[in-house]
């Protein structure tokens, strides 16, 4: 058995860039579209150098017209290409809502047409971007059949899930968290790998409470779990990684082991993904439950621009600890 070789540490941002580069080298059908991704290298420099390497026909700078270039990408995908569209910020994805939900998501149901495209959506707060650059819009698309949604929390998952998304025959929205871009690092295998869509990951095993989350909240969950361990509360952290399709087997297996569940996400609380998972647990795992299903999420307001207000708005480790203590007491 050979041991996988590793490379130097890369950031979450660099892992995304590596995935794009490798897939463009592997498959000439893959091309990129987005605002300022070419000459400027992208708002976050993920595609820096790509224009020089692949040329202007595979790295297309687009106008500020999300509906237009997403529509063009859908057409290209239906003709056999593999477009990867970048939303400069996930908030702007609403401008292309009709194209995504009414065309890309429904073409398979209309006449069996594959739409193999990826929409990269930098989402989330913690970067003081205000209400128009910090949104978590995944809930809008969670309710739209025909789309796949992924939200990696680590460099390893970021690279592997993006490669899987590019190769998938369905439209995939790839939610990449801006707060993680340059804050977390990991060594990645030099050998090619893909993280399968639809598989959650247990980031920390535990026996007392299942803490189910995704994106940047995974790291907050791990921080809180470490602190709770000192109190004798053993928390299992379930990283969904894929939001659609949900890995119900892993979710249910964890909750049936611990008998208690907390949903944690950065999207607004009402109508969020945590609410749907809580409903599914109530329907499918009721006999396993030994306490109420709790949700931790921001209030139903836009993300504040003010630093202290944003800090109040976003979930904190103390929120998780308080909820876990309450649940552990049942």
Note if 219 is an active site residue: no
Across the beta sheet with 242-244, what order do the strands follow? 59-61, 30-34, 82-86, 118-123, 172-177, 148-150, 242-244
Unique residue bearing structure tokens 């739209």: 144
Distance CA 136, CA 88 (A): 14
Chain-centre distance of CA 262, in angstroms? 19
Q: Supply the Cα-derived Rg of the chain in whole angstroms.
A: 20
Q: How would you class 8 by CB atoms within 10 Å of its CB: exposed for 0-12, middle for 13-18, buried for 19 or more?
A: exposed
Angle in degrees, CA 306, 312, 314, rounded to 5: 100
Cα diameter, the chain: 61
- For residue 180, which of 137, 125, 120 has the smallest C-alpha distance? 125
Closest CA to 119 of 133, 104, 108: 104
Distance between CA atoms of 191 and 185, rounded to whole angstroms? 18
- State the Cα torsion 282-286-291-294 to the nearest 10°: -20
Contacts of 61 (CB under 8 A, 6+ apart): 34, 35, 36, 37, 38, 39
Residue tagged active-site, from 108, 128, 133, 219: 133
Q: Is 131 exposed, middle or buried (0-12, 13-18, 19+ CB in 10 A)?
A: middle
Contact criterion met (CB below 8 Å) for 88 and 47: no
CB atoms within 10 A of CB 283: 8
- Taking the C-alpha atoms of residue 273 and residue 59, their distance in angstroms, rounded to an integer, is 34
Catalytic residues: 133
């Amino acid at each position: 058995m050979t041991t996988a070789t590793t490379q130097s540490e890369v950031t979450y941002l660099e892992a995304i860039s590596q995935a794009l580069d490798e897939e463009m080298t592997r498959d000439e059908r893959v091309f990129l579209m987005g605002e300022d991704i070419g000459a400027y290298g992208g708002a976050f420099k993920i595609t820096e150098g790509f224009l020089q390497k692949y040329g202007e026909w595979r790295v297309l700078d687009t106008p500020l017209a999300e509906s237009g270039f997403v529509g063009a990408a859908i057409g290209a995908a239906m003709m056999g290409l593999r477009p990867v569209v970048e939303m400069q910020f996930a908030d702007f994805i609403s401008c292309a809502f009709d194209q995504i939900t009414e065309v890309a998501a429904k073409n398979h149901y209309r006449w069996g047409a594959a739409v193999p495209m990826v929409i990269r959506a930098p989402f989330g707060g913690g970067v003081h971007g205000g209400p128009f650059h910090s949104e978590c819009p995944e809930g809008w698309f969670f309710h739209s059949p025909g789309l796949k949604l992924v939200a990696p929390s680590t460099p390893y998952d970021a690279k592997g899930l993006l490669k899987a998304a590019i190769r998938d025959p369905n439209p995939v929205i790839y939610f990449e968290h801006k707060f993680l871009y340059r804050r977390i690092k990991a060594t990645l295998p030099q050998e090619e790998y893909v993280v399968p869509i639809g598989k959650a990951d247990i980031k920390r095993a535990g026996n007392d409470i299942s803490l189910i989350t995704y994106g940047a909240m995974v790291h907050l969950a791990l921080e809180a779990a470490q602190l709770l361990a000192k109190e004798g509360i053993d928390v299992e952290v379930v990283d969904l990684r894929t939001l659609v399709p949900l890995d119900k087997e892993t979710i249910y297996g964890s909750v049936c082991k611990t008998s208690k569940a907390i949903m944690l996400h950065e999207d607004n609380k009402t109508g969020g993904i945590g609410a749907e998972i809580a409903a599914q647990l109530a329907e499918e795992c009721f006999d396993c439950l030994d306490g109420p299903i709790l949700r931790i999420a921001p209030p139903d307001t836009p993300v504040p621009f003010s630093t202290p207000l944003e800090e109040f708005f976003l979930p904190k480790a103390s929120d998780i600890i308080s909820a876990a203590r309450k649940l552990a007491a049942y």
